[in-house]
A and B are shown apart, each in its own frame.
Chain A
Amino acid sequence: MPKAQNNPTASQNLSAGSEFWAGVREEVPLIFGVAPFGLVFGVLGIESGLSPWQTILMSSILFGGASQIVFAQLWAAGVPALIVGGSVCVINLRHVLYSASIAAYLRHLPLRWRILLGYLLTDEAYAISIRRLQHEPPGPNQHFHLLGSGMLLWVSWQFATIFGVLVGGTIPDSWSLSFAIPLTFIAVVAPILKTRADLAAVITAGTIAIIGQPLPWNSWLIIAAIGGILAGWLVSRLNHQAGATS
């Protein structure tokens, strides 16, 4: 399919195939982070007492790494369903931002396309395809770029989960593989901390998460998350005001 050897800077009318494969190619480096993450989820899902089918299908139904990990951990801890659901929902609220930022490029598409691309709109696919949409000349097939990045991510996530489910039982506890989860999140969070508001969010969320440990049903997670969001938001507001008045 990718026979077209178009020069991307010269042509604005890339074929659907070249847009699609460009999305796939540009997504590849991110797979090195996503694959171990999916593997860990597969292992953890089984350890948490989910059945293999529940673990594997969760990767299609939720299709959001952090929220799946939290789902499995809270479920294993015997947390009431409402708290599990609420925690997962708060974690996934961030997608509204991606959806808002990419809407201008996709809204003219037929409904079935918007449903498909909405389903594929993960952190990693968004990060890659928004660059093409914002910084390269628009084209009639530009949505195929998101289809490519999103589908590579989806396929990798499913395979990594299945692999984790299959090998999970054979990995000894002494490897402390579940420690890969906080490490994965450290790799996401540490490089994006830039402002004082970000730091306020981190310190508040971390402190509440520790102080709140005795709270029932692991509800410290959702309380710490909301506390961190509020703290970051308040500090950024104060900074804006200070900047506006000084």
Chain B
Amino acid sequence: MIWFIMIATGLFTFATRFIMLSNGISNRPPLWLVDALGFVPIAVLTAIIVPAILVDPADQTIALWDNPRLFAAALAIIAALVTRQMITTIGVGLVALWILQWAM
């Protein structure tokens, strides 16, 4: 079953990359669709980021103040905005989390 889904989603993913390169499609997608697709990365990644920070992996409850991941993520956001470097952002976030987990 897992192989079937993997190959099916793989084919779909290839199709999203190839579709506009195919000769069958001669037009650019309509502007409203281009606009909407432009929000896909932001929306999808935010939907992954927020629960990964706020939901406690141990008991699946939502944790705010007693939550080292929240503070580590806040520092990582600052690092991302200032440096715009992926490696720095990951480094700042992970080190902050280690220090906070050790201290809290």
Query: Which residue numbers of A lie inside 8 Å of B, CB to CB?
Result: 32-33, 36-37, 50, 54, 57-58, 61-64, 66-67, 69-71, 75, 81, 84-85, 88-100, 102-103, 106-107, 114-115, 117-119, 121, 123, 174-177, 179-193, 197-198, 201-202, 204-206, 208-210, 213, 220-221, 224-233, 236-237
Contact = CB atoms under 8 A, between A and B. Distances in A.
A181 B50 CA distance: 11
B9 to A, nearest CB: 4
Contacts of A58: 6
Given A32-B87, A209-B48, 14 more contacts: A81-B1, A91-B40, A100-B28, A182-B53, A183-B93, A186-B93, A188-B45, A189-B42, A201-B43, A202-B42, A205-B47, A229-B36, A230-B36, A232-B36
Interface string B34-64: 1111111111111111111111000010100
A58 B80 CA distance: 29
A190 B8 contact: no
B20 A61 contact: no
Contacts of A69: 48
Interface residues of B, number: 66
A180 B9 contact: no
Closest 5 CB pairs of A and B: A228-B43, A33-B86, A118-B18, A232-B39, A224-B47
24 contacts: A63-B10, A70-B48, A71-B5, A81-B5, A85-B5, A99-B17, A102-B20, A103-B28, A106-B21, A107-B23, A114-B21, A177-B94, A181-B52, A183-B76, A186-B49, A189-B49, A205-B44, A206-B50, A209-B46, A221-B48, A228-B39, A228-B44, A236-B35, A236-B39
